[in-house]
Amino acid sequence: MLEHLELFFKSIFIDNMVFAVFLGMCSYLAVSKKVATAVGLGAAVIFVLAVTVPLNWLLDQYLLRDGALVWLGPEYADYNLSFLSFIMFIATIATMVQLVEIIVEKFSPSLYNSLGIFLPLIAVNCAILGGSLFMQAREIPSLGLALNYGISSGIGWFLAIVAIAAIREKIRYSNVPPPLRGLGITFIITGLMGIGFQSFGGMLTGDNDPPEGTEPTTVEKIEEKKMIEEELQADDKAVSYNPLIKE
Amino acid sequence: MKEKLHELKLKYQGKKMAPAFNAIHTFLYSPNETTHSGGHVRAVDDLKRTMNTVIIALLPCLLFGIFNAGYQHYSAVNGFPADFSILEHFITWDNFWLGAITVLPLVVVSYGVGLAIEFVFAVIKGHEVEEGYLVTGMLVPLIIPVDTPLWMLAVAVAFGVVIGKEVFGGTGMNILNPALTIRAFLFFAYPTWMSGDKVWVHEGVARAGTADAISGETILGYLAQGKSEAMYAKYDLAEMFYGFIPGSVGETSTFLILLGGLFLIFTKIASWRIMLSAVIGSLAMGLIFNWVVDAGIIPEYSKFYGLMQFDFWKHLIVGGLAFGIVYMATDPVTGSQTNKGKWIYGFFIGFISVMIRVFNPGYPEGVFLAILLMNVFAPTIDHYVVQGNVRRRMKRLKNATILPKPSDGKAEALKVETV
């Protein structure tokens, strides 16, 4: 129970898809002009993540990783299909996105029209693939935790896009200098929002019972790391050159 | 003098330097302009008056900070006085002089750099200089450690004013509080100058490693290291409340901040809803942590134990929480605008501040980050409060019926039907 709670909190706030690892930026920047649309896309991302991460966990566990095929028989124990994980994960994601597209078109044509091309593009939204790959890299131990991870990182992305959509609705009447209007100011806002989200950076790190005397060094290390990360984020130019953003 | 300035103003009209000139002019005298058409209500409480009221509320904190800077330095060097009396040990010329030469340069640099940038932007963009920086420039020196190098402050102020405010179009348009943006920039760019036990006392960093080394750990610093007995041996509750403790320049005296807060509420400059709900939020989180300790969920060796067992109401009188709640969270531009939104916004500021204090080993104090985070979410909160209001009114409109007049006798019939 406690580990579920910790993972939930961690993937919403601390490892936020947008502000900690800067994934899924293209739809985040493009579909954040209105709150209603942003909510629709955010919900779609939550749904897709919640379905694909557990599915990919099963794939990874019983098909792809080293020795995963042992359930077929002992002679398969040496097989390692993890080089297939990208293509398998993307296949799962693309299927799921098709499903979402059909559902949204059927039940909410207005949302379907306002999302436009970005709904099918969820398939290549790197937050979605990132969710599956992080799940694999962090070796999430159980199906329940994988589901939790999918939902909560989706919620983190949802919060980010809704917050920036509300801010963009608010600054619509601001006298922003002409060269910065549109994407420029959005990049700057994203950087500033990243500073706000730094309040959670470094939270819940380390084990809970450190031996006496080692604590200060860990604190210093965390601060150093924070400093480097934050210089990247605080400097908005650096954000726009960040290679992670390119999808 | 006044007439001459008016003449000069006409001469400069339409020139490039006009905004800069007008700014100085209106700062000194009320302008001689009249409206061109129609009837207008004239009120004295314009933006400049609002800003000045906040500055008046901040002045006691600044003065106290000046004396406290001197007091902390001399106490760290000579040892703390055994029987402390305010007149004898605190309000002295030595303290004032030392405080003045350390704190006033911070104020001068903050105003100088910030206003210079505002003037340049106003001249380039061709609008009047806005008063927005007056309060920010006073807040910034009060929320940084006393020995912050002046060039760092200048860099941070430039960042905060340009990226935090001017790119959004100036005063009233920004999404994050500029003073807190400056503080956050300093904190993340130069962390060694912003935390630790050396930075809170004048000359603490300069003397580190020598035989004359001095230090002053903040209350939260002590607690984060689990040394609550050592902390209680050094400071008692009254000292925490009146503010004779190390900390950022103006944040230590909860008593004066309380007075300033009451003054702001009385003059209706700041929102009492935000202040009250932030206090409730921090108390709630403190109570949860106290309960966790009482229930024995967390073991005593845990690194969170020291801060968790700290009584819930004492969170309000140490660190920057009180200062943040009164002067920062109530910023009318970056906070929530709706009344219901203000309650939610304030509550989360208090709640998250105490949470960061306890849970985040990287940050001994999290108030400024909590407020920045809620600044980010304030437009979202407002959006949903407004949507909720719209929906409720639409519903009311749909259900509304035109009641018949009581004289018709139909009203009684209707009443019988509905009951």
A185: which chain B residues are within 8 Å (Cβ-Cβ)?
167-168
Q: Which two tokens stand for residue B90?
A: 């605190």
8 Å CB contact between A209 and B301: yes
Distance, first Cα to last Cα, chain B: 77
Q: What is the mean pLDDT of residues B1-26?
A: 72
Which residues have a Cβ under 8 Å from the Cβ of B364 and sit 6 or more positions away?
B195, B218, B220, B221, B224, B357
Residues of B in contact with A171 (CB under 8 A): 168, 173, 175
- Domain residue spans in chain A? 2-208
Residue A232, chain B, CB below 8 Å: the answer is no
CB B321, CB B329: distance < 8 Å: no
Task: Select from B168, B191, B376 the Cβ nearest to the Cβ of A223.
Answer: B191
What are the strands, taking DSSP E only, across B133-271?
A: none
Q: Count Cβ–Cβ pairs < 8 Å, chain A vs chain B.
A: 126
**The whole model's pTM is what?**
0.82
Q: Who contacts A136 (Cβ-Cβ below 8 Å, separation ≥6)?
A: A56, A60, A65, A85
Q: Is the pLDDT of residue B13 over 80?
A: no
Q: Where are the domains of chain B?
A: 389-418
B50-55: which pairs have CB atoms within 8 A and are 24 or more residues apart? B50/B269, B51/B131, B51/B132, B51/B134, B51/B135, B52/B134, B53/B263, B53/B264, B53/B267, B53/B269, B54/B135, B54/B138, B54/B264, B54/B269, B54/B270, B54/B327, B55/B134, B55/B135, B55/B138
Is any Cβ of chain B less than 8 angstroms from the Cβ of A197? yes
Contacts of B299 in chain A (CB under 8 A): 209
The answer to whether the Cα torsion of A80, A82, A87, A93 is positive or negative is positive
What is the pLDDT at residue B283? 93
- For B329-360, how does the pLDDT look when each residue is reduced to its tens digit (9 = 90+)? 998 888 898 999 999 999 999 999 998 888 87
B195 and chain A in contact, CB less than 8 A: yes
- Give the other-Cβ count within 10 Å of B106's Cβ: 21
Question: What does the alpha-carbon distance between residue A224 and residue A219 come to, in Å, rounded to a whole number?
Answer: 9
ipTM rounded to 2 decimals: 0.81
Q: What is the CA radius of gyration of chain A?
A: 20
The answer to whether A193 and B181 have CB atoms below 8 angstroms apart is no
From the list A174, A196, A208, which residue is nearest B173 (CB)? A174
Asked if A200 is an interface residue toward chain B (Cβ–Cβ < 8 A), one would say yes
List A residues 133-172 in contact with B (Cβ-Cβ < 8 A). Answer: 162-163, 166-167, 169-171
**Pairwise CA distance, residues B15 & B17, whole Å:** 6
Residues A157 and A42: their CA atoms lie apart, in Å, by 7
Q: Does the CB of A206 have a partner CB in chain B at under 8 Å? A: yes
pLDDT of residue A240: 45
CA dihedral B213, B216, B221, B223 (to 10 degrees): 110
- Looking at residue B417, its pLDDT comes to 60
Q: What's the pLDDT score for residue B255?
A: 92
| Residue A223 pLDDT | 56
A19-74 confidence digits (pLDDT tens): 888 888 888 998 888 898 899 889 889 988 998 999 999 999 888 888 888 888 88
CB count in 10 Å sphere of residue B133:
27
Inter-chain CB proximity B380 and A163 less than 8 Å: yes
Alpha carbon of A240: minimum distance to chain B alpha carbons (Å): 14
Distance of CA A67 to the CA centre of its chain: 29
CA B61, CA B252: separation in Å to the nearest integer? 8
Q: Which amino acid is at A246?
A: K
Q: Does the distance separating the beta carbons of B369 and A198 come in below 8 Å?
A: yes
Q: Sign of torsion, CA B12 B13 B16 B19?
A: positive
- B55 has a pLDDT exceeding 80: yes
**At B133, which amino acid appears?**
Y
pLDDT digits (tens, 9 = 90+) for B165-194: 888 888 888 889 999 999 999 988 888 888
> Residue B303: which of A174, A201, A210 has the nearest Cβ?
A210
Alpha helices in chain A, H assignment, sequence order: 2-9, 25-30, 35-59, 85-107, 109-115, 126-137, 143-170, 183-197, 215-234, 236-241
Collect all residues with Cβ–Cβ distance below 8 Å to B85 and sequence separation of at least 6. none
Partner-chain residue, chosen from A166, A176, A227, that has the shortest CB–CB distance to B379? A166
Residues 6+ apart with CB under 8 A from B154: B109, B113
Contact: B167, A203; criterion CB under 8 Å: no
Pair of tokens at residue B356: 């960061």
State whether residue A109 sits within 8 Å of chain B by CB: no
Query: What's the confidence (pLDDT) of residue A233?
Result: 57
Whether residues B173 and A171 touch (CB distance < 8 A) is answered with yes
Average pLDDT for B136-144:
92
**DSSP string of B381-396?**
HHHHHHHHHHHHHHHH
- Give the tens place of pLDDT for each residue, A79-138: 888 888 899 999 999 998 898 888 888 988 888 887 777 788 788 888 999 999 999 888
pLDDT in tens, A159-181: 999 999 999 998 888 888 888 88
Contact across the interface for B376 and A170, Cβ inside 8 Å: no
Of all residues in chain B, what percent carry a pLDDT higher than 70?
A: 89
Residues making up chain A, counted from first to last: 247
Return the minimum-mean-pLDDT range out of A98-102, B122-126, B144-148, B267-271.
B122-126
> What are A191's two structure tokens?
């950087």
Token couple for A124: 């290549």
pLDDT at A209: 43
| Token representation of residue B407 | 């004289």
The alpha-carbon gap from B12 to the nearest alpha carbon of chain A, in Å, equals 25
